[in-house]
Amino acid sequence: MPRYALLVEYNGAPFSGWQRQNEQSSVQGAIEAALAKLEAGPHKIAAAGRTDAGVHATGQVAHCDLTRDWEPFRLSEALNFHLKPSPVAIAACAVVADDWHARFDARKRHYVFRIISRRAPLTFEKGQMWRVNRPLDAGAMQKGADYLIGLHDFTTFRSTLCQAKSPVKTLNELRIEQINHANGIEYRFHVLARSFLHNQVRSFVGSLERVGSGAWSPEDVKTALEARNRAACGPVSPPDGLYLAGVTYPSNPFGT
Protein backbone atom coordinates (compact mmCIF):
# COMPACT_ATOMS: atom_id res chain seq x y z
CA MET A 1 0.00 0.00 0.00
CA PRO A 2 1.95 3.08 -1.20
CA ARG A 3 2.09 6.24 0.94
CA TYR A 4 1.97 9.74 -0.53
CA ALA A 5 3.00 13.08 0.96
CA LEU A 6 0.76 16.02 0.04
CA LEU A 7 1.70 19.70 0.14
CA VAL A 8 -1.58 21.46 0.87
CA GLU A 9 -2.75 25.06 0.54
CA TYR A 10 -6.10 26.27 1.82
CA ASN A 11 -8.15 29.29 2.73
CA GLY A 12 -9.39 28.43 6.21
CA ALA A 13 -12.32 30.89 6.28
CA PRO A 14 -15.12 28.41 5.43
CA PHE A 15 -13.77 25.56 7.56
CA SER A 16 -14.12 24.58 11.21
CA GLY A 17 -10.39 23.84 11.11
CA TRP A 18 -8.14 21.12 9.74
CA GLN A 19 -9.47 18.23 11.80
CA ARG A 20 -12.48 16.24 10.67
CA GLN A 21 -15.59 17.02 12.74
CA ASN A 22 -19.09 15.63 12.64
CA GLU A 23 -21.52 17.81 10.69
CA GLN A 24 -18.95 20.58 10.20
CA SER A 25 -16.81 21.39 7.19
CA SER A 26 -13.09 20.67 7.63
CA VAL A 27 -10.02 20.63 5.40
CA GLN A 28 -9.25 17.03 6.36
CA GLY A 29 -12.81 16.03 5.51
CA ALA A 30 -12.64 17.74 2.11
CA ILE A 31 -9.43 15.91 1.14
CA GLU A 32 -10.68 12.56 2.42
CA ALA A 33 -13.89 13.00 0.41
CA ALA A 34 -11.79 13.71 -2.70
CA LEU A 35 -9.72 10.57 -2.04
CA ALA A 36 -12.91 8.54 -1.81
CA LYS A 37 -13.73 9.62 -5.37
CA LEU A 38 -10.48 7.97 -6.50
CA GLU A 39 -10.53 4.81 -4.35
CA ALA A 40 -13.12 3.29 -2.07
CA GLY A 41 -12.59 4.37 1.53
CA PRO A 42 -12.75 5.02 4.30
CA HIS A 43 -9.70 7.27 4.15
CA LYS A 44 -7.90 8.80 7.11
CA ILE A 45 -5.08 11.23 6.46
CA ALA A 46 -2.58 12.71 8.93
CA ALA A 47 -1.18 16.24 8.89
CA ALA A 48 1.80 18.09 10.29
CA GLY A 49 -0.43 20.48 12.23
CA ARG A 50 -4.08 20.80 13.18
CA THR A 51 -4.98 24.39 12.33
CA ASP A 52 -7.99 26.02 14.01
CA ALA A 53 -11.13 27.45 12.44
CA GLY A 54 -10.35 30.31 10.07
CA VAL A 55 -6.59 29.63 9.96
CA HIS A 56 -5.00 29.32 6.52
CA ALA A 57 -2.10 27.32 5.11
CA THR A 58 0.38 27.79 2.31
CA GLY A 59 2.61 24.92 3.43
CA GLN A 60 0.58 22.30 5.29
CA VAL A 61 1.86 18.74 4.81
CA ALA A 62 -0.25 15.58 5.05
CA HIS A 63 0.08 11.95 4.04
CA CYS A 64 -2.33 9.34 2.76
CA ASP A 65 -2.22 5.61 1.94
CA LEU A 66 -3.77 4.26 -1.26
CA THR A 67 -4.13 0.76 -2.66
CA ARG A 68 -2.91 1.46 -6.19
CA ASP A 69 0.26 3.06 -7.47
CA TRP A 70 -0.37 6.60 -8.60
CA GLU A 71 2.02 8.82 -10.51
CA PRO A 72 2.29 11.75 -8.03
CA PHE A 73 1.44 14.46 -10.55
CA ARG A 74 -1.67 12.59 -11.70
CA LEU A 75 -2.75 12.05 -8.10
CA SER A 76 -2.47 15.76 -7.31
CA GLU A 77 -4.37 16.66 -10.49
CA ALA A 78 -7.14 14.18 -9.69
CA LEU A 79 -7.47 15.42 -6.12
CA ASN A 80 -7.58 19.05 -7.22
CA PHE A 81 -10.37 18.20 -9.66
CA HIS A 82 -12.47 16.57 -6.95
CA LEU A 83 -11.70 19.25 -4.36
CA LYS A 84 -13.45 21.94 -6.41
CA PRO A 85 -15.05 24.27 -5.42
CA SER A 86 -13.53 24.08 -1.93
CA PRO A 87 -10.63 26.55 -1.43
CA VAL A 88 -8.15 23.70 -1.00
CA ALA A 89 -5.32 22.77 -3.37
CA ILE A 90 -2.71 20.04 -3.52
CA ALA A 91 0.35 22.03 -4.55
CA ALA A 92 2.70 19.02 -4.71
CA CYS A 93 2.65 15.27 -4.20
CA ALA A 94 5.40 12.70 -3.66
CA VAL A 95 5.79 8.99 -2.91
CA VAL A 96 7.33 8.45 0.54
CA ALA A 97 8.42 5.47 2.64
CA ASP A 98 5.70 3.36 4.22
CA ASP A 99 6.73 4.51 7.71
CA TRP A 100 7.07 8.21 6.84
CA HIS A 101 4.71 10.36 8.92
CA ALA A 102 3.68 13.95 8.20
CA ARG A 103 3.35 14.80 11.90
CA PHE A 104 5.92 12.69 13.74
CA ASP A 105 8.76 13.17 11.22
CA ALA A 106 8.39 16.98 11.22
CA ARG A 107 11.30 18.88 12.77
CA LYS A 108 10.10 22.49 12.54
CA ARG A 109 6.83 24.26 11.84
CA HIS A 110 6.81 27.78 10.42
CA TYR A 111 3.82 30.03 10.99
CA VAL A 112 3.27 33.51 9.58
CA PHE A 113 0.82 36.03 11.00
CA ARG A 114 -0.12 39.11 8.97
CA ILE A 115 -1.38 42.42 10.41
CA ILE A 116 -2.27 45.36 8.18
CA SER A 117 -2.44 48.93 9.51
CA ARG A 118 -4.92 51.01 7.50
CA ARG A 119 -8.12 52.94 8.05
CA ALA A 120 -9.95 51.60 5.02
CA PRO A 121 -11.64 48.18 5.20
CA LEU A 122 -9.97 45.33 3.36
CA THR A 123 -11.46 44.28 0.03
CA PHE A 124 -9.39 41.70 -1.86
CA GLU A 125 -7.61 40.44 1.25
CA LYS A 126 -10.54 40.52 3.64
CA GLY A 127 -10.22 37.53 5.94
CA GLN A 128 -6.53 37.15 5.04
CA MET A 129 -5.08 39.70 7.47
CA TRP A 130 -5.93 41.27 10.81
CA ARG A 131 -6.69 44.94 10.16
CA VAL A 132 -5.85 47.52 12.83
CA ASN A 133 -6.59 51.24 12.55
CA ARG A 134 -3.24 52.62 13.67
CA PRO A 135 0.45 52.13 12.85
CA LEU A 136 2.37 49.84 15.18
CA ASP A 137 5.90 50.19 16.51
CA ALA A 138 7.68 47.22 14.93
CA GLY A 139 10.88 47.85 16.90
CA ALA A 140 9.07 47.74 20.24
CA MET A 141 7.22 44.59 19.20
CA GLN A 142 10.49 42.92 18.28
CA LYS A 143 11.96 43.81 21.68
CA GLY A 144 8.95 42.19 23.33
CA ALA A 145 9.17 39.17 21.03
CA ASP A 146 12.82 38.62 21.94
CA TYR A 147 11.81 37.75 25.50
CA LEU A 148 9.82 34.80 24.15
CA ILE A 149 12.62 33.15 22.17
CA GLY A 150 14.18 30.07 23.75
CA LEU A 151 13.04 27.37 26.15
CA HIS A 152 10.21 28.57 28.40
CA ASP A 153 7.09 27.59 30.27
CA PHE A 154 4.47 29.16 27.98
CA THR A 155 1.45 28.67 30.27
CA THR A 156 0.52 32.36 29.81
CA PHE A 157 0.31 31.93 26.04
CA ARG A 158 -1.54 28.60 26.09
CA SER A 159 -5.28 28.12 25.65
CA THR A 160 -7.09 26.65 28.63
CA LEU A 161 -8.35 24.00 26.18
CA CYS A 162 -4.80 22.95 25.22
CA GLN A 163 -4.26 19.19 25.51
CA ALA A 164 -0.45 19.22 25.41
CA LYS A 165 1.15 17.34 28.29
CA SER A 166 3.56 20.16 29.10
CA PRO A 167 3.55 23.95 28.57
CA VAL A 168 7.35 23.93 28.17
CA LYS A 169 8.40 24.52 24.57
CA THR A 170 11.38 25.91 22.66
CA LEU A 171 10.64 28.87 20.41
CA ASN A 172 13.37 29.12 17.76
CA GLU A 173 12.33 32.35 16.05
CA LEU A 174 9.84 35.18 16.40
CA ARG A 175 10.82 37.78 13.83
CA ILE A 176 8.73 40.78 12.85
CA GLU A 177 8.97 42.14 9.31
CA GLN A 178 7.50 45.51 8.31
CA ILE A 179 6.38 45.98 4.71
CA ASN A 180 5.23 49.41 3.55
CA HIS A 181 2.48 49.22 0.94
CA ALA A 182 0.81 52.11 -0.86
CA ASN A 183 -2.45 51.20 0.86
CA GLY A 184 -1.16 50.39 4.35
CA ILE A 185 1.65 49.04 6.52
CA GLU A 186 1.90 45.28 6.85
CA TYR A 187 3.56 43.53 9.79
CA ARG A 188 4.50 39.89 9.32
CA PHE A 189 5.30 37.76 12.34
CA HIS A 190 7.51 34.78 11.41
CA VAL A 191 7.28 32.13 14.13
CA LEU A 192 9.35 28.94 14.11
CA ALA A 193 9.40 26.00 16.54
CA ARG A 194 9.29 22.23 16.54
CA SER A 195 5.78 22.25 17.99
CA PHE A 196 3.26 24.69 19.40
CA LEU A 197 0.64 24.87 22.13
CA HIS A 198 -3.00 25.53 21.30
CA ASN A 199 -3.49 29.24 20.43
CA GLN A 200 0.17 29.96 21.19
CA VAL A 201 0.93 32.00 18.06
CA ARG A 202 -2.30 33.99 18.23
CA SER A 203 -1.62 34.67 21.94
CA PHE A 204 1.87 35.93 21.07
CA VAL A 205 0.57 38.22 18.34
CA GLY A 206 -2.29 39.61 20.42
CA SER A 207 0.10 40.52 23.24
CA LEU A 208 2.71 41.97 20.88
CA GLU A 209 0.06 44.10 19.16
CA ARG A 210 -0.51 45.69 22.59
CA VAL A 211 3.18 46.55 22.65
CA GLY A 212 3.08 47.96 19.12
CA SER A 213 0.13 50.17 19.96
CA GLY A 214 1.80 51.51 23.11
CA ALA A 215 -0.61 49.90 25.58
CA TRP A 216 2.18 47.58 26.83
CA SER A 217 5.92 48.06 27.12
CA PRO A 218 8.23 45.38 25.72
CA GLU A 219 9.06 44.42 29.31
CA ASP A 220 5.39 43.68 29.95
CA VAL A 221 5.79 40.65 27.65
CA LYS A 222 8.54 39.34 29.90
CA THR A 223 6.35 39.92 32.96
CA ALA A 224 3.45 38.07 31.32
CA LEU A 225 5.70 35.15 30.37
CA GLU A 226 7.12 34.84 33.86
CA ALA A 227 3.64 34.98 35.42
CA ARG A 228 2.84 31.54 33.95
CA ASN A 229 -0.80 32.54 34.20
CA ARG A 230 -3.25 32.64 31.31
CA ALA A 231 -4.87 35.74 32.81
CA ALA A 232 -1.63 37.66 32.16
CA CYS A 233 -1.92 37.18 28.39
CA GLY A 234 -3.04 40.01 26.15
CA PRO A 235 -6.10 39.64 23.88
CA VAL A 236 -5.84 36.65 21.54
CA SER A 237 -5.62 37.78 17.93
CA PRO A 238 -8.28 36.71 15.41
CA PRO A 239 -7.47 33.72 13.18
CA ASP A 240 -7.71 35.70 9.93
CA GLY A 241 -4.03 36.53 9.61
CA LEU A 242 -2.53 33.19 10.63
CA TYR A 243 -0.92 30.82 8.09
CA LEU A 244 0.88 27.51 8.46
CA ALA A 245 3.60 28.51 6.01
CA GLY A 246 5.89 25.49 6.00
CA VAL A 247 7.08 22.30 7.66
CA THR A 248 10.70 21.14 7.80
CA TYR A 249 11.72 17.47 7.58
CA PRO A 250 15.14 15.77 7.72
CA SER A 251 14.74 15.28 3.98
CA ASN A 252 12.28 17.30 1.94
CA PRO A 253 9.77 14.81 0.52
CA PHE A 254 9.00 17.13 -2.39
CA GLY A 255 12.63 17.49 -3.43
CA THR A 256 12.81 21.29 -3.55
Q: What is the pLDDT of residues 166-193, one digit of tens each?
A: 999 999 999 999 999 999 999 999 999 9
Q: Where are the domains of the chain?
A: 3-105, 108-246
For residues 210 and 106, give the distance between their C-alpha atoms in angstroms, rounded to a whole number: 32
DSSP 3-state percent helix, strand, coil across the chain (nearest 5):
25, 30, 45
Phi (first) and psi of residue 3, to 5 degrees = -115, 140
**Residue 210 · residue 136 · CB < 8 Å:** no
Our answer to whether residue 146 is catalytic in this structure is no
Instruction: Please determine whether the domains at 3-105 and 108-246 fall in the same fold group of CATH.
Output: yes
CATH class of the structural domain 108-246: alpha beta
CATH architecture of 3-105: 2-Layer Sandwich (3.30)
Least trusted range by pLDDT, from 40-44, 59-63, 221-225, 226-230: 40-44
Handedness of CA 130, 151, 162, 144 (dihedral sign): negative
Per-residue pLDDT tens over the stretch 206-224: 999 999 999 999 999 999 9
Q: Considering the entire predicted model, what is its pTM?
A: 0.95
Q: Does residue 112 surpass a pLDDT of 90? A: yes
